[in-house]
Chain A
Amino acid sequence: MQDLLHAALDAADGATYADVRIVDTQTEGLTVRDQTVETLDRARSVGFGIRVLADGAWGYAASAALTTEEAARVGRIALEVARESARAVRRPIELVPEPAHRARWSSPLDKDPFEVPLEDKLTLLTGATAEMGKVKGVRFGRGTLDLMRTTTWFASTEGAAITQTVTQTGAGIEALAMSEDEVQVRSYPGSFRGHYASAGWELVADMDLIGNAQRTAEEAVALVSAPECPSTRTTLVLDGHQVMLQVHESVGHPTELDRILGMEAAYAGTSFVGVPDLNHLRYGSDIVNITSDATIPGGLGSFAYDDEGVEAQRADLVRDGILVGFQSSRETAAAMGAERSNGTMRAEGWENFPLVRMTNINLLPGEGSLDDLIADVDDGIYMATNKSWSIDDKRKNFQFGCEIAWEIRNGKLGRILRNPRYTGITPVFWGSCDAVAGAEEWLVRGTPNCGKGQPGQTMRVGHGTSPARFRDVQTGTG
């Protein structure tokens, strides 16, 4: 590996700066529908990408052929690409300094999920789907398991030399029930293939998929005949899973500094937030505190160094309701006049140019339990588990849908409601937050499918959240 790293950097001779990543990714994916295996895929992808800064512009080239000759060829291409880019650059790119780290790091885990026998994995998933199948009215049950291990070797012309390995695990179940006019899905412990973390098999063992299968299936069946969630303005309590998506879409993306600086304008969009808003904009109520934190053990966005060699950090984004930080890179930090990147440059695999990506964007816990939040509502709605999301290109006007809701009457949960949705405007919505549940309800959840960039990259990010309450929210599609 060292020969290849050096060959690539040597080929970029003449560049202002260059870095190279060799990335080796191993995955295993398993999907079971009732007692049949729908998907059983094992994959490995290894290759390298070279990023070159020359004449004030970036060039990037990548290849899967792991030879020193190919590394030299690709390095020269990256340099050529950078020099062609420089023909259309108005402001030469500058980078804030970062120490040249030399380190090795691996994410912690108790039990290697790749070493667990396949029979055990299949037995767990088919056991859960069998339990769901026992519930009358369930059309089918599905169980999923996803494993991923990525080892990255990073080197730069500044002398950085970093090797890190991250192992991630995710699993979940879902039940589908239907009637003549209605199709409903209920999942556990989260939608879109369940719960993910940087962890080993212990994560799956702790989920108790089989023990939660019957309840999950029963709720799917109940949703089919439940009344529609009304369109009204009311008090809304969200479970931690939906708060995760709310944080992701309406805080995570709009505080990415590349979006704020217009670099994603044509595709993902920009942000309603501007650099001058820093330390001034009221983003939410006084109890809203949000961090970007790549240092949390187990987070799906946790690491030791980002993909341009910057040390993992925790940074405040919103403190006491005020916008106080952005997610940055060495380039974007320099562009806004900051002294250091807070370490959020990440790339999917070896093929892609690193972008400013969320690490773990966390709504810090408040006080009390979910029951306490509900107890203080005379008339409202409790929604759980994200089902759909849509937000405008400035990340200001949003609509979310959840799998299930319950009406709240006099501090207690009532009937199940189906097809719950709500809409809002980001700073108004967070401004209406009057309670965030405490640390006992707080969990770092994972979103394994965050899309951004061209060519499109899918990133795995984390969100520490607990249930939260919002007043005077518009539910329904109106």
Chain B
Amino acid sequence: MTAPLDVDAVRRAAAPVLELRGADEVEIVVSASDTGVTRYANSEIIQNTARRETRAYVRVAAGNRVATASTNQLTLTELLAAGSNALEAARTSPDDPAFPGFPTTEQADGPFAVRRYDESAAAADPRHRSEAVQEILKITADASAAGVYETSSHAFAIFNSHGVDRADAYTRCVTTCLVDNGIATGWGEASSHAVDEVDVGAAARRAVDKAQTGRRRGSAERGIYEVVLEPAATAMLIEYLSYTGFGAKSMIEGESFLSKRRGERVGGPGVTVLDDVWHPRSIGIGFDFEGMPRRRVAVIDDGEASQPVTDLRTAKSLGVTSTGHNSGSNEFGPYASNVVMEPGDAAFEELVAAVDDGFLVTRFHYVNVLDRPDTLLTGMTRDGTFRIQKGEVTEAVDNFRFAQSVLAALDSVLGIGRELLTFAPDYGAFGSSVAPAVRVGAFDFATQTSH
């Protein structure tokens, strides 16, 4: 694969559109990606895709009325057509008094290029991906294996009529491995921007080991338990915490935990959850969809609910400076797409050893929001739920359904692992989460399940 976007060519194509007659302000966001995804199941490759995508979003302001039109054909003709289409729609719209305008170069000043780009990931071909899967299948040969191996490159550029001109690119390498030995399933995964940092063999061996441990079966009753959440489980909780409440729009509208609890203690000592695309384990770009540089924001700072992430609109409403988290959706508002939970000082084994009677959770499945302000979630455990007794993992149990406030879980944190893992999102390709294992004092396994 080659770099997915010729920024100079796009800049030249965009220039006439930025001067669209009749428009007061114009902004063009361009995204491009080359993605190769090899899926395997029943220990064989079942789907294998390679695709190249581009898209340009032309946002036009007529006074304080705004509309967007997009196209995946990056020719001058198509870009001008999109601009004209957006202008016609903007002129028809009612006034938007809260429209903050597109940023100037002074507003958008700051570092904006993370450059989390690995040439090996960008150049990976179908043979590379096939060989990675074959390595997994050798290691998992005694069981049925399923998962994915992905290599992809992504580029973004933004230009506006005030002179803002930004471009950044990143790569992803992702592998997942589910092993089913007929009695239990196990899970392993690894994600990074770089191919060399993704050890497919280690992920496969971890899945095999998990499934092997799961052969010892026990039973358990619903209840509130002490748990150790592996990094994949922690990551899902903080991703949903971000989704439900890190954005300033949800705070302003009263739907975020920050609406009423800002300044209060919501997590135990040492619990810091932030959005930080600059973290060395994050995957993403250094500017948002308005071209503002993305700043590191500690939303929960050493246990205290601190501040939301903002875009220009919500920053104007709050009287602050944008943190650079425009999501591209005015309806959804600003979004923290690179959530990071800071590590503690415990080894994973120490977290488990400290539990007298509780459970170890490998990961969660099909999580959904029950109460947004309370950060109350439900979902299932999956691919390895183990009882811990007197500091030892003793047996596997059937999956639980949980009903748990994320903040309540963070408030009962008893220990935080020192190792951080990166998780790439399932849907789309934007952002990442970085999480440690955590030991939680009280976690509500509301329902035992039937299998």
| Residues in A lying within 8 Å of B, measured CB to CB | 31, 33, 35-47, 49, 57-66, 77-78, 80-82, 84-85, 87-91, 118-119, 122, 126, 139-140, 176, 178, 183, 261-267, 269, 351-353, 388-394, 396-397, 399, 401, 419, 421, 423, 425, 451, 454-456, 477-478
Contact = CB atoms under 8 A, between A and B. Distances in A.
A138 B261 CA distance: 22
A409 B254 CA distance: 35
B48 A57 contact: yes
A84 B35 contact: no
Given A91-B44, A266-B41, A399-B401, A81 B126 contact: yes
Contact of A391 (B43, B126, B129, B366): B366
Contacts of B373: 183
Given A44-B70, A352-B51, 8 more contacts: A37-B66, A39-B329, A85-B126, A87-B134, A266-B177, A394-B451, A456-B426, A456-B427
B178 A390 contact: no
B370 A401 contact: yes
A122 B92 contact: yes
A456 B51 CA distance: 13
Interface string B67-81: 111111100000000
Contacts of A44: 70-73, 82
Nearest to A392: B380
Contact of B67 (A41, A61, A388): A41
A85 B129 CA distance: 9
B85 interface: yes
24 contacts: A31-B331, A37-B67, A38-B331, A41-B67, A41-B68, A42-B82, A43-B70, A59-B48, A60-B50, A85-B48, A91-B44, A118-B92, A176-B253, A262-B41, A262-B144, A264-B41, A265-B144, A265-B178, A390-B378, A390-B401, A392-B399, A396-B450, A419-B370, A423-B447
Contacts of A263: 41-42, 46, 146
Contacts of A38: 330-331
B70 A454 contact: no
A5 B90 CA distance: 37
Contact of B73 (A41, A46, A139, A399): A46
Contact of B48 (A81, A399, A477): A81
B150 to A, nearest CB: 8
B89 interface: yes
User: Which 3 residue pairs are nearest across A and B when measured between Cβ atoms?
Assistant: A266-B146, A62-B51, A84-B130
A262 B145 CA distance: 10
Nearest to B42: A262
A82 B38 CA distance: 11
Contacts of A78: 50
A474 to B, nearest CB: 9
- Specify which of A59, A119, A183 lies most central, judged by the most chain B CB atoms within 10 Å of its CB: A183
B248 to A, nearest CB: 15
Contacts of B316: none
Contacts of A139: 253-254
Interface residues of B, number: 88
A269 B370 contact: no
Nearest to A264: B41
A81 B151 CA distance: 14
A38 B67 CA distance: 9
B37 A64 contact: no
A202 to B, nearest CB: 22
B182 interface: no
A269 B426 CA distance: 14
Contact of B148 (A46, A59, A266, A352): A266
A455 B72 contact: no
B447 A478 contact: yes
B365 A393 contact: yes
A417 B449 CA distance: 27
B208 to A, nearest CB: 14
B366 A390 contact: yes
B321 interface: no
Interface stretch (B93-101, B161-169, B278-286): B93-101
A60 B47 contact: yes
A455 B35 contact: yes
Interface in B354-378: 365-373, 378
A108 B25 CA distance: 40
Nearest to B70: A43
Contact of A47 (B47, B72, B177): B72
Nearest to B448: A397
Interface string B319-338: 00000000001110000000
Contacts of A267: 148, 176, 426
Contacts of A118: 88-89, 92
B109 interface: no
B154 interface: no
A33 B35 CA distance: 36
B102 to A, nearest CB: 16
B147 interface: yes
Contacts of A264: 41
Contacts of A33: 331
Given A40-B68, A122-B92, A84 B129 contact: yes
A33 B39 CA distance: 41
Contacts of B137: 88
A141 B433 CA distance: 33
B254 A178 contact: yes
A169 B52 CA distance: 29
A394 B401 CA distance: 13
Contact of A45 (B45, B55, B429): B55
Nearest to B92: A118
B451 A389 contact: no
Contacts of A352: 49, 51
B133 interface: yes
A63 B52 CA distance: 5
A262 B94 contact: no
A43 B31 CA distance: 14
Nearest to A31: B331
B350 interface: no
Nearest to B177: A266
